Structure 1
Amino acid sequence: MLDKKTLSERDICTKYITPSLIDSGWDIDKQILEEVSFTDGKIFVRGKLTARGKRKRADYILYYNSNPVAIIEAKDNNHSVNAGIQQALDYAQILDIPCVFSSNGDGFIFHDRTATDSSIETEMSLEQFPSPGELWNKFKVFKNITSPEEERIISQEYFSDGSGRKPRYYQEIAINRTIEAIAKGQNRILLVMATGTGKTYTAFQIVYRLWKAKVKKRILYLADRNVLISQTKNNDFRYFGDKMTWVKHRQIDKSFEIYLALYQGLSGNDEEANIYKQFSSDFFDLVVIDECHRGSASEDSAWREILAYFKNATHIGMTATPKETNEISNIEYFGDPIYTYSLKQGIDDGFLAPYRVVRVGLNVDLEGWRPEKGKLDKVGNEIEDRIYNRKDFDRNIIIDERTDTVASKITEFLLGAGRFSKTIVFCVDIDHAERMRMALSKLNADLVKENYKYVMQITGDNTEGKNELDNFINPEEKYPVIATTSKLMSTGVDAQTCKVIVLDSNIQSMTEFKQIIGRGTRIREDFGKLYFTILDFRNVTDLFADPDFDGPPIRVKEATEDTDLSTIEEEEENFTDPIIDNVSGEEVILKKPTVRYPENERTSFVHERKPKVYVNGVDVSVLVSREMYFDNNGKPITVSLKDHTKEIIKNHFATLNDFLNKWNDGEKKAAIIKELQEQGIMVDALTDAVDKEADLFDIICHVTYDQPPLTRKERANNVKKRNYFTKYGEQARKVLNALLDKYADEGIATIENSEVLSIDPLSTFGTPPEIIRMFGSKEKYVEAIGELEKELYA
């Protein structure tokens, strides 16, 4: 007889769980999905090296029509039947699933999220697994589906073109919740989804399912920029083909079912231009408003009249950044979002690119600039005697040297990051964007000579630049590489391979800030784009401290006068602590990216009281400024780094003995270091601030408990002096000595990692298996490493 205890988890699924589901009436081809990875795995970055963390994976997800109704977590038979229930509940919460099961092959534990009494969790045999109809009834209770018509609408299948593309889990939730809300009669719906998470594809699946179910027969898709309409028409909505039209002409053809339109194309300053009135007010039964934080967001906007005219239709607003001010409220119009998927969630799930920040503070920005007496501008007029600061620069007064310095630091950074890294430079206005293009062109004359489109001004007034926008965002096009802009590219531009975002504009709006960051959040692994960098010249990244910001950077570095920005990307390659995936608890392997380089904004004019003042001959340089660190929640640390560390350690280890016991009891010090990092200890920054040559152990003892620190080299030498190696053979002693040298150079985590045996000088002793045999066995080798660590921290 087969012994269940010897079977793997997959064997348990194949031999016991899947047959149980089939016997209960579940269709293995249409209703059962096994080993479903629903995230991509968070991207970790060290210098130019990147790695993916482990994906979140459900053993089974059961579907009824387009709706996930149950999740099953399987374990091998050496676990109890309920061993997987907590993990399954966590996944069910994320995936919006009501019925949760755990199994080890003996039976099931069923957690019913619709129950409110003791029946919330029950045990059942393999033969008792619920039928599809039973779990569908649970789902209807969970979603409060009360009528046959509601059930018919939410049962409509997704669109599939046979390519295998399916909505991601969060898109699925957004689509289903919208369909459910409309089926219940809700007519104002808001979806908040971070830039780069596929809002247009989500909108398409919503429109398709409602249209296919004949619930909504004529649909209007509204946006306020040509690029948003063209991307929608040519990409996600292309299935609608000849049923779809882009409203461009004054005479409306009413024979279509899907209408794409710019607000500007439907309305104007006089009644004759308001061509939306050629439709009857009840012509459309669904209106989708893209980027609803703009355009018609304001109650007194002329474009709001279009929504008011079609008020009987269902309105779905979609945005990454709902706007809430005294004058504008998306929530007041649409109601609270029925689903929110944030930037932080997207980065943690591995669907969005993480980013680092480099802050560059210029002397004239941080200290202000006051013209010396009698200082003349470039046309010979005396400059008003007052202190000018960053709010003035490029808006009221232009300092040539400031523009040149910013352009120089951008160029310097690209020397390290790659000179063909797609870059967007956000400027104060169109004039500033024009001057920045010229400054960057001069500094990159060699590449501009090869192709003048290396640097392009892409602004609302520049026809040549606007014509290159599609080429900039097309991954297959090499040029343009650097785009200088003001507002045109701040939102709705799908720049998939943008690797650098430069902030040289005084951005104060959280909405605008999030939109700009969104230009870099797309991932294109096939083009080596897994993260991006923000160069901040205006302290705009102070907005990270705002409670409304939801996606902390992986790193913030202050650039000083001596900082060579071309080395920024390389700096973290010497980081020796392992990166531990936050889901699996396993170390992730870093790899170098594979890079391949492929061959309508409404212009708003600023009415200024005074003309701009242009000046040169000013000393502009990079100043040393305060270091800036972020805690685990992405909020700036306001106390000193040492005090911050001391506070964290004291909260977990009241005395030095408590900390020493934890450190000495840990089998792997790397695991303790990882735990300290998770609690908010900034290992890199702390080491830089205290002593780069000291062990983290010594730094913590010094900062928190006032103990004198030893360097790693001193600790290694102390071990050698004690000559404890004598019990090992000659070759094993040489290996241990080499490991001590590695510890002195790189730290404790390096010698705990077995891969160190493949690196010089260890590799000169033989292959890893040969080195391990010098100690007798793998167990003896591990034991020797443990003894070595005890000696190091004796």
Structure 2
Amino acid sequence: MNKKELSEIDICDLFITPAIKGAGWDQMRQIRREVTLTPGPIIVRGNMSSRNKKKEKFADYVLYWEPDVPVAVVEAKDNKHTVSHGMQQALGYSGILQVPSTFSSNGDAFASHNKEPGAGEDIETQFPLDKFPPPQTLWQRYKTYRGIEDTSEELVLQPYHLDSSWKEPRYYQVEAINRVVEAVAKGQKRVLLVMATGTGKTYTTFQIIWRLWKAKAVKRALFLVDRNILADQTLVNDFKPFGSVMAKVKNRKIDPAYEIHLALYQAITGPDEEDKIFKNVSPDFFDMIVIDECHRGSATEDSAWREILEYFSGAIQLGMTATPKETKYVSNIAYFGDPVYTYSLKRGIDDGFLAPYKVVRIDIDKDIYGWTPPPGMIDDLGQEIEGRTYNQKDMDRILILNQRTKLVAGRVMQLLNATDPFAKTIIFCEDIDHAERMRAAIVNAAGQLAIDNPKYVMRITGDSVEGKAELDNFIDPESTFPVIATTSDLLTTGVDAKTCKLIVLDKTINSMTIFKQIIGRGTRIDEEYNKWFFTIMDFKKATELFRDPEFDGEPVIIFEPGDDDDPVPPDPEYPDDDSDDDEGEGVRKIYVSGVSAHIVAERIEYYGPEGNLVTESYRDFTRKQIHKEFASLDEFLSTWNASRKKQVIIELLEEHGIVLDNLAEEIGKEYGDFDLICHIAYDQPPLTRKERTNNVKKRNYFTKYGEQARAVLNAMLDKYADEGIRTIENAKVLKLKPFSDMGTPMEIINQVFGGKTNYENAIQELEQELFNLEQIA
């Protein structure tokens, strides 16, 4: 056997897997092959998107001590490579999984990288195939690396919950869960977990509580949220496996008959002592308290949540947040300590688990240049307008320019009509009054859409019973209506609107925390409903926060506020219901109808591969990526004509994020893949597929073939004109009409062309005629 001729899979099957099994690893429980870690980021250009498969990450082997506990990574290469050739790649995967043992092999031996070397041991070594470490050795190394004591082993190894769908946690969820469980095993009482919106914080929370509960480290747990919809969604979705031992706190009573309690903090506390029903149970009643969205103020001295935490001070307290940013009023780290694990928005997008975004920034003249009323001018209510300059911060808070609202609504509908009029959209407004005026303006701008569908746009705010009743329909992917929701604060957090494709910011946002929460409404991917990216339409320069280096930076310690600082945020008006912030009393609003407003600047930016916002069209992106593979037209033509299967080149471009079908939507569906590439990348004038087909027929190229072969090739040309190169390269094309009328595929290949080789050569010659170099200007 010549190893050099074997594929990588052969090397795995014949040498690497037997060596690992020979060391005592159970192939069914402890060895997993081709483990996908990340699916690869989504690239967005224009209204098109595709995954960058070149950045997909999967490990050839992941070794587990128990099914939920990875301890090592093994990277395989074929025998044309050296033993350690895959080590750098494998170390990247070990870093993702946070395991100390990394191996590489080409089938001759193993190269090893040990992050916990003993005294006098080298970090990197090589050893024969029959010397691979047994499971106990790598488990002990893992325990040392993670600081796990022998006494904690039973708790750390408590299994996850697996439902009937066999849904498994993603790698970062596994790491987050394990880090929290390990911290608890070490006796840590306050734990902070930072995970970007859309990464499955509630599912992660469920698995943490489940494992601790099953291990009997926790008997009773309280999950605290600040919105009814969060509690209700959790009850029927992620926490459902708890079944009869779980209940939502209602009627201001904590029922000791249950073990898992879900509660709005407003339902168990309040400004008066009689409202503080959490004191009706003993301080040791709960063994664990999880504070969802703890950035909302739970860690401040004067927070209502802080009082609950102090009362149950002996319980394990887990803070969950998507926004690690420390502020004047909220210092999560000062209370909980450093996060045990952080999974950021940027990392989620880079991995391909979160949707990337593009930003449409629109500047309106009255916002940018300000507006000063003429002396003595009166508003729509007949009152004189104060003589000063009104700027962007005043718009829709103090100064209401009806023409501006109309302009914004018109621009939103312009985008939707140009892309998808039924794309789920959230418009964030300054307050409830602004949300209602925006709803009316959208109705007028939508025209027939709003006439045909009265619920096309709904105001979903805390004071609107009708609007809140439609919230479930808005977040339901299978429900078309409402399409557009206008709101103020109600939808800023916790609403799981997976299919939201457009977020409109016509609201002044000064808080990084609020900004991240708003943007979090769009970060979820929903492949089933074709939600791969989302758009932010910004009228108030809120996305200037994207430029902040702390957008994805590490938290900065801010000490807890002093006694004179105001609590943030204020308590909702209705303790058991969701509501927007009060609009404030004593603020006079000025309504003016006769002042026009105009757009003075508009630009589109995309989330780039380096995590920054770039301005680039889909054409520019495609051109750059093609040039990375084929620096010149001659190089591309040489490769194209030398390839027996053009599909290979098409798949290569797809790995760079170029989907030619998407490009055809922009350039023209009548052009084939070859002409799209030559036109976009090398400025060649394109020919349609039909033009190329007619050129071949004019050259009377078929005369050397018999009558039946000419009929097949003529039909093949027509197939190319209608469907493209990929259809005629697919052997199954011979099962379609009109070929099926000419005989079976085997009859056509063997009797008409004299065998498979002759048939393939005929197709190759046909392609050469189609893409004759003389056709390239």
1:136 aligns with 2:139: yes
> 1:24 is aligned with what amino acid?
A
**Equivalent residues of 1:545, 1:634 under 8 A apart:** no
Q: Could you say which residue in structure 1 is the equivalent of 2:319?
A: 317
**Equivalent residues of 2:297, 2:330 under 8 A apart:** no
Q: Give 3-state SS (helix, strand or coil) of 1:391's partner.
A: helix
Q: Could you say which residue in structure 2 is the equivalent of 1:103?
A: 105
Q: Give 3-state SS (helix, strand or coil) of 1:420's partner.
A: coil
Matches for 1:635-674 after TM superposition, within 5 Å? none
* Deviation for aligned residue 1:222: 0.4
**Equivalent residues of 1:460, 1:488 under 8 A apart:** yes
* Deviation for aligned residue 1:780: 11
Q: Could you say which residue in structure 2 is the equivalent of 1:218?
A: 220
**Equivalent residues of 1:411, 1:443 under 8 A apart:** yes
Matches for 1:219-618 after TM superposition, within 5 Å? 219-550=221-552, 600-618=577-595
Cα distance, 1:757–1:409 mapped onto 2, change above 3 Å: closer
Q: Distance in 1 between matches of 2:167 and 2:636?
A: 42
State which of 592, 596, 600 in structure 2 corresponds to 1:623.
600
Q: Distance in 2 between matches of 1:443 and 1:503?
A: 18
> 2:590 is aligned with what amino acid?
V
**Equivalent residues of 1:670, 1:749 under 8 A apart:** no
State which of 149, 170, 173 in structure 2 corresponds to 1:171.
173
> 2:133 is aligned with what amino acid?
P
**Equivalent residues of 1:457, 1:465 under 8 A apart:** yes
Q: Distance in 1 between matches of 2:236 and 2:322?
A: 22
Cα distance, 1:749–1:205 mapped onto 2, change above 3 Å: farther
**Equivalent residues of 1:108, 1:124 under 8 A apart:** yes
Unaligned 5+ segments in structure 2 are: 554-576, 640-671, 697-716, 730-757
Q: Could you say which residue in structure 2 is the equivalent of 1:705?
A: none
1:61 aligns with 2:62: yes
Cα distance, 1:524–1:632 mapped onto 2, change above 3 Å: closer
Q: Distance in 2 between matches of 1:619 and 1:86?
A: 61
* Deviation for aligned residue 1:547: 1.1
Residue-by-residue CA offset, 1:649-685 (whole Å, 9 max, x unaligned): 9xxxxxxxxx9xx9789966999xxxxxxxxxxxxxx
**Equivalent residues of 2:359, 2:605 under 8 A apart:** no
Cα distance, 1:633–1:741 mapped onto 2, change above 3 Å: closer
* Deviation for aligned residue 1:322: 2.6
* Deviation for aligned residue 1:13: 1.1
> 1:613 is aligned with what amino acid?
I
1:748 aligns with 2:682: yes
Q: Could you say which residue in structure 2 is the equivalent of 1:34?
A: 33
Cα distance, 1:175–1:411 mapped onto 2, change above 3 Å: same
* Aligned-residue RMSD, C-alpha: 3.5
Cα distance, 1:34–1:184 mapped onto 2, change above 3 Å: same
Cα distance, 1:763–1:788 mapped onto 2, change above 3 Å: closer
**Equivalent residues of 1:663, 1:669 under 8 A apart:** no
> 1:424 is aligned with what amino acid?
I
* Deviation for aligned residue 1:93: 0.7
Cα distance, 1:492–1:387 mapped onto 2, change above 3 Å: same
* Deviation for aligned residue 1:252: 2.9
Q: Give 3-state SS (helix, strand or coil) of 2:127's partner.
A: strand
> 2:16 is aligned with what amino acid?
I
> 1:61 is aligned with what amino acid?
V
Cα distance, 1:742–1:87 mapped onto 2, change above 3 Å: closer
Q: Could you say which residue in structure 1 is the equivalent of 2:22?
A: 23
Taking structure 1 as the reference length, the TM-score comes to 0.76
Cα distance, 1:213–1:630 mapped onto 2, change above 3 Å: closer
Taking structure 2 as the reference length, the TM-score comes to 0.78
Unaligned 5+ segments in structure 1 are: 552-599, 650-658, 672-737
Which one is further off, 426-435 or 302-311? Answer: 302-311
Q: Give 3-state SS (helix, strand or coil) of 2:244's partner.
A: helix
* Deviation for aligned residue 1:14: 1.2
Residue-by-residue CA offset, 1:623-650 (whole Å, 9 max, x unaligned): 136887987655579xx99xxx9xxx9x
Residue-by-residue CA offset, 1:473-514 (whole Å, 9 max, x unaligned): 111111111000000001111001101100000111111111
Q: Distance in 2 between matches of 1:628 and 1:530?
A: 16
Residue-by-residue CA offset, 1:334-380 (whole Å, 9 max, x unaligned): 11111111111111111111111111111111111111232210111
* Deviation for aligned residue 1:115: 1.8
Q: Could you say which residue in structure 2 is the equivalent of 1:51?
A: 50
- Count of aligned positions: 653
Q: Distance in 1 between matches of 2:93 and 2:683?
A: 32
Q: Distance in 2 between matches of 1:46 and 1:629?
A: 7
**Equivalent residues of 2:678, 2:684 under 8 A apart:** no
Q: Distance in 1 between matches of 2:607 and 2:345?
A: 17
Q: Give 3-state SS (helix, strand or coil) of 1:242's partner.
A: helix
Q: Give 3-state SS (helix, strand or coil) of 1:327's partner.
A: coil
Cα distance, 1:314–1:468 mapped onto 2, change above 3 Å: same
**Equivalent residues of 1:669, 1:748 under 8 A apart:** no
Q: Could you say which residue in structure 2 is the equivalent of 1:205?
A: 207
**Equivalent residues of 2:42, 2:49 under 8 A apart:** yes
1:119 aligns with 2:122: yes
Cα distance, 1:743–1:474 mapped onto 2, change above 3 Å: closer
Cα distance, 1:774–1:331 mapped onto 2, change above 3 Å: same
